[in-house]
Amino acid sequence: MKNLISYIFLIATLLAAVGCKPERKAIDNPKPSVYYWRTTFSLDEVERKFLADHKVGKMYVRYFDVVVNEKGVLRPNATITFKDSVPAGIEVIPTIFIVNNCVNQGIDTIAPLLVDRVLQMNETNDIKGVQEIQIDCDWTVKTQDAYFKFLEQVRQLLAAKGMKLSATIRLHQLAMKAPPVDYGVLMMYNTGDLKNSKQRNPILDKRDVEPYLKYLAKYSLPLCAAYPNFGWQLLYTGDKFRDILYSEDLSDTTLYQPAGNGKYVVISSIDLPNYLSSNSTYTYLNAGDTVMVVKPDATTLVQVHDALSHERPGINDQVIIYHLNNSSINNYSPSDYEKIFNP
């Protein structure tokens, strides 16, 4: 009967889509925004220039993760260290990533702890003017009830301090009940499967987005959208995916031969630092291996951006780029960024 319900929902959505123009539902106070997803807060000149050039008004800064430790207790992990100040005029939205396996481990007990910790981090690190917290979690049917209850608690605690709560929404979560937050950020990245990346772009592919567009118009939360600017270099031996390379210079023609469409053939074997391991181990590239460069091309990005606007006017009033990083900024031209920041 689940199929039946989905079908009824689909049909109802189709009728709505055919019969009426979607209502405009934007978030309050939208500004060009970025995610900051590193463990040390420090900006270089390129990153500062990017923020200034595009008049970025908000930074969603990952403060820490919540994980289950060895003793089965929920704990913060990988807390950010602030070694630099946030540029004046930019609002920080502390963002907390909650690993999904935490949710059914008594997450309702940590709501006040989490809020207090974030507020204290603001104070200790002189982060001023914080008006909102964001929670990021890849919740599922099985964890939904507990997660939503937790969000309600956090929202109440924040409301008492005049603050708001937002949450990330993955594409597949559009088909689920909306979380109890003030607004959602629709993640338009990591939409595909890395292992099948030769067929589709695992970062952003229209074919992976397509099935979910129908849910947009009726989704009950105010939404804004987050788009990727990062790219991957994927190493293959034959058809077998082996590794992700880290910012390898593929223009070195003594090592790589361009083969078109973002494909490079390794012509001389080399050992490279292994991006997949946190321990800086090596990846062996053998002559004959191929490296595929994948990043969402600007055309796809703009197409998806426009389709979202069409299906749900207002969703792009605020666009967030994931993520601010010197090595990713140049994946699009400044004018491409402007097309989605200020279309």
Q: Check: CB of residue 188 under 8 Å from CB of residue 225.
A: yes
Closest to 95 (Cα-Cα) out of 111, 80, 106: 80
The whole-angstrom separation of Cα 312 and Cα 280 is 43
Closest to 227 (Cα-Cα) out of 201, 178, 190: 190
Q: Which of residues 152-211 bind another protein (CB under 8 A)?
A: 194-195, 206, 210
The whole-angstrom separation of Cα 332 and Cα 342 is 15
**CA-derived radius of gyration, the chain:** 21
Number of residues located near another protein, criterion CB under 8 A: 60
For residue 89, give the 3-state DSSP assignment: coil
Contact between 62 and another protein by CB under 8 A: the answer reads: no
Q: Taking CB under 8 A as the rule, which mask of x and - marks residues 119-158 in contact with another protein?
A: -xx-xx---------------xxx--x-------------
The whole-angstrom separation of Cα 228 and Cα 316 is 14
Contact between 237 and another protein by CB under 8 A: the answer reads: yes
Query: Rounded to the nearest whole angstrom, what is the least distance from the CB of residue 56 to another protein in the complex?
Result: 26
Q: Which of residues 14-43 bind another protein (CB under 8 A)?
A: 14-15, 17
Q: Taking CB under 8 A as the rule, which mask of x and - marks residues 82-121 in contact with another protein?
A: ----------------------------x--xx-xx--xx
Query: Rounded to the nearest whole angstrom, what is the least distance from the CB of residue 236 to another protein in the complex?
Result: 11
The whole-angstrom separation of Cα 66 and Cα 64 is 7
3-state SS string over 288-299? CCEEEEECCCHH
Query: Rounded to the nearest whole angstrom, what is the least distance from the CB of residue 242 to another protein in the complex?
Result: 6
Which residues in this chain contact another protein in the complex, by CB under 8 A? 1-4, 7-8, 10-12, 14-15, 17, 69, 75-79, 110, 113-114, 116-117, 120-121, 123-124, 140-142, 145, 194-195, 206, 210, 213-214, 237, 240-244, 271, 274, 276-284, 286, 303, 306-307, 310-311
